[in-house]
Structure 1
Amino acid sequence: MTYHENCPFCHPHRDPHQHIIFENNTCYYLQHDKEQDVLEGSGVIVPKAHHKDAFHLTAEEWNHTYELLQKAKEYVDKRFSPDGYTLGWNVGEASNQTIPHCHLHIIPRYNDEPHAGKGIRHWLKQPDNKRETLK
């Protein structure tokens, strides 16, 4: 059995905690009750076709991802009123990609959260994360 036969993004209906909020011809915008419950309103945009990472998306899937990104922002803004967003793709184990099906994280950010102000640049600027060969 290949991974994509059990992939939670290839088969979003199998998980009762995962909800398809929007979809178009090639992509879903999903929210999960248990996996994305720390920052309310978090979700992911995933292609319906199984691609291991964003480097394998078609031009049509990129366009449809953009379409759902705009729709997701409007939805999250109205429902949760975040103060900002962190958007991101993880590619490979080194970046903490835990599901090998590409997905764009849509993470609403709030001024009153403990890690407010600590986005992607925060961990990029941490001296203790510098590789030994570059020190």
Structure 2
Amino acid sequence: MDCLFCNITADPEQQIIFETDLCAYIQKPSEQRVLEGSGLIVPKRHVSDVFGLTAEEWRDTQQLLVRAKAYLEEMYEHEGYTVGWNTGIVGGQSIPHAHLHVIPRFSDEPLSGKGIRYWIKQKNNKRGTMSTKL
């Protein structure tokens, strides 16, 4: 299988920061230039999206999320987080293997304070004012 997350160590730049038997928290230094400190929690088993995770993979994901938070708080002086799953092409998922984004956020970023709902709140949104009620 030619899946980036099924073969984490195939990309020499991708680093496993810590892991459990079922999941890994990874970072890729080249992506740090765009989103400093960002990382992903990925199940080791190939599963296309978050809805296919087992109860055990959910447990390990939550455990790694708590560890990632502690790790990031030691490494950075950030003020918030964006944590989320993109699911399906329309949902923004570009790699068909479930992965949870863990992104520390900083007040001096151009989109600081916007959150993940920023784009759906815009007036040019195809769904109009209905989306602002989410």
Q: Which TM-score applies when normalising by structure 2?
A: 0.91
Q: Does 1:107 align with 2:103?
A: yes
Percent identity, aligned pairs only, is 55
Match of 2:17 in 1: 21
Counterpart of 1:41 in 2: which secondary structure?
coil
Q: Map residues 8-47 of structure 1 onto 2, 5 A cutoff.
A: 8-47=4-43
Q: Does 1:117 align with 2:113?
A: yes
Q: Map residues 66-105 of structure 1 onto 2, 5 A cutoff.
A: 66-105=62-101
Q: CA RMSD in A?
A: 1.6
- 1:48 aligned to which of 36, 39, 44: 44
User: Which blocks of at least 5 consecutive residues in structure 2 are unaligned?
Assistant: none
In 2, Cα distance between the equivalents of 1:91 and 1:65? 16
Query: Aligned-pair distance for 1:14?
Result: 0.7
User: Which blocks of at least 5 consecutive residues in structure 1 are unaligned?
Assistant: none
- CA deviations 1:78-101 (Å, max 9, x no partner) are 101211000110000111100000
Query: Aligned-pair distance for 1:47?
Result: 0.2
Query: Aligned-pair distance for 1:36?
Result: 4.4
Change in CA separation of 1:36 and 1:101 when aligned onto 2, cut-off 3 Å? farther
Counterpart of 2:70 in 1: which secondary structure?
helix
Matched residue type, 1:46:
V
In 1, Cα distance between the equivalents of 2:2 and 2:33? 23
Matched residue type, 2:37:
G
Match of 1:63 in 2: 59
